[in-house]
Chain A
């Protein structure tokens, strides 16, 4: 065991869980070692200007924090060499800021495809150097960036031996929109809109993460009713997405009855959201300082009706999944993600929990209203497609109960307060349906954002997909991929 990092913990941490401290190279490297030995989990890794940051969490004590290193000379010590989950984040840092991770194991560009006018350092003319494969009778299948379904763009390079996938290498970055750059100097309202469009399926979770970080930065306390309404939207978003994905996974296993039934329930949730909040996906409904729309007694009755409808319909859907042997035949023991990898990469959300990684930001960093609500973390051990489906089924049930509790204890009062902008800095970690979303930002007293970083849970999940498909047959890839459902847009941002 190495010594603890010499940065403030305990009391200081409790009042401000994401305290950021400037550290020396030596401490930076020590954190690298602790990440490598697994006594710290990497939460995010990014740069703003000439400073590099690493957000971490101690899985045993639950402490969290951010360390920063001055890199004005253009270099910083690579964490990727010690801890592979940092590799792609590091490659992104180099692409976006030009800072060079010294001793990085992978010097290839990542988000930069050589096409950004005036910014690219990579050359578009040069083909991307996929990892070399050696061995007899191996063949490669390139797929994408334009895929065959209604999905986001990315490139998959399969190396196969017969039907079996020997290696999958993903190449991402196609949907990079330069969100961090657009945020810099943007007024809070505009930046909040952008945050809600990093990954549209998680718009509520992103908007909450952004808003919470802003509220820390500007020392703003939001009304309790807003806290509840945010959680209500977050749980509705979780239910809707889980339903959509469970149906889609089963559809990829050629069992469309599940898709039909799940899609109906999903549509009911979206319609109600549209009625109550004015937007089916609840975009822009969460704002810094609170929420945009209030709900009335009629809405509460509607939600109650919807929950009752779920309790009538959902058990049959669950049973349909569990009792269909031909479906289980495709999902059980397919695309297994081992526990140690899930732990090493800090796999968020149902992906981690299906491989028995016991982490849920709603419990790990309990903030209102979740600290007062009763719910269980659904854990499974097998780490296969089946486990990921079952975790999501269980999470739908938990979320239904959370919605009920939230409505039962819904406080009265205002739903939004003005945010008095000031020079400040804040961070937040929010459990979206896909996993924990990390937001860090700096605000300026003129009411703009001066720097912002948003990390999607997919950043740590994409590499795990590559591990999970190994030794599976090509025909099972769509199923495994869907069971992960990583966000391209969130990752590329």
Chain B
């Protein structure tokens, strides 16, 4: 273990960084996302991922967001284990008829203010599974959606850009203070 840790001390970080800008849009994103989240929510953005029947491809790319290259936490995003702790539901997959109720209940369990991001082509309208008896439709047919990130699956880069867009365009300028400290909002 020591060897590995020592090695990592002497190798430059992989985390994609620092603006030679235009190409390195990722680093640019990082800075923007972080300030926006702090500014608008007063804390980092808690994401609860919900799979409503995906092929698991979308999950793989969401997982990749946490690797050293993308390191999503530095942007102020956190994946949380319960909808009770979440600001954002990140929903993947077509909504199967067998998962529809679970999605609606998860949404209900998420405290306001909350946003829903539908990630992947399936989440938009069922994608290539649309029309099956087993599919009830896209995410927006079950719960309100604030943003859709296209792709099959969306790349980690697309996912990050999408989350940033959510913050810039969909989040209100400022969240009422009561909501920020976790009190019920009128």
Contacts and interface: CB of A to CB of B under 8 A. Distances in A.
B140 interface: no
Nearest to A118: B133
Contact of A173 (B63, B68, B81, B98): B98
Interface in A266-314: 266-267, 270, 274, 280-281, 283
Given A153-B53, A281-B60, A324-B1, A177 B68 contact: no
B66 A263 contact: yes
Contacts of B58: 200
Given A174-B96, A244-B60, A153 B128 contact: no
Given A153-B52, A257-B4, A177 B134 contact: yes
Given A263-B67, A263-B68, A283 B51 contact: no
Interface string A188-203: 0010011001111101
A164 B137 CA distance: 40
B59 A151 contact: yes
Given A153-B51, A280-B61, A281-B57, A177 B129 contact: yes
Interface string B98-119: 1111100010000000000000
B14 interface: yes
A16 interface: no
A117 B131 CA distance: 12
Interface string A344-356: 0000000000000
Interface string A15-37: 00000000000000000000000
B22 interface: no
A146 B92 CA distance: 12
Contacts of A181: 132-134
B175 interface: no
A198 B55 contact: yes
Contacts of B100: 115
Contact of A119 (B51, B56, B79, B133): B133
A107 interface: no
B49 interface: yes
Contacts of B64: 263, 266-267, 270
B44 to A, nearest CB: 17
B47 to A, nearest CB: 9
B99 A145 contact: yes
A108 interface: no
A134 interface: no
B96 A146 contact: no
Nearest to A488: B56
B54 A146 contact: no
A6 interface: no
Interface in B56-99: 56-64, 66-69, 79, 81-83, 93-94, 96-99
Contacts of B99: 145, 153, 174-175
Contacts of A489: 53-56
Contacts of B129: 177-179, 182, 194, 197
Nearest to A241: B60
A200 B132 contact: no
Given A150-B62, A174-B102, A283 B68 contact: no
B5 A316 contact: no
A113 B94 CA distance: 17
B137 to A, nearest CB: 12
Interface residues of B, number: 50
A153 B56 CA distance: 10
A176 B61 CA distance: 21
B168 interface: no
A264 B53 contact: no
A256 to B, nearest CB: 10
A148 interface: yes
Contact of B134 (A116, A153, A324, A488): A116
B153 interface: yes
B56 A146 contact: no
A106 interface: no
A317 interface: yes
Given A150-B59, A257-B4, A323-B1, A113 B54 contact: no
Most buried by A among B50, B93, B131, B134: B134
Interface in B108-156: 128-129, 131-135, 152-153, 155
Contacts of B20: none
Contact of B98 (A176, A244, A260, A281): A176
B4 A175 contact: no
A358 interface: no
Most buried by B among A148, A175, A181, A317: A175
Given A117-B97, A175-B53, A280-B155, 17 more contacts: A115-B98, A116-B134, A118-B133, A145-B99, A148-B81, A150-B62, A173-B98, A174-B99, A177-B134, A178-B134, A181-B133, A197-B129, A264-B68, A316-B3, A320-B1, A489-B54, A489-B56
Interface of B: 1, 3-5, 7, 14, 49-64, 66-69, 79, 81-83, 93-94, 96-102, 106, 128-129, 131-135, 152-153, 155
Interface of A: 113, 115-119, 145-146, 148-153, 173-179, 181-182, 190, 193-194, 197-201, 203, 244, 257, 260-261, 263-264, 266-267, 270, 274, 280-281, 283, 316-317, 319-320, 323-324, 487-489
Closest 5 CB pairs of A and B: A200-B57, A178-B134, A178-B132, A263-B67, A148-B81
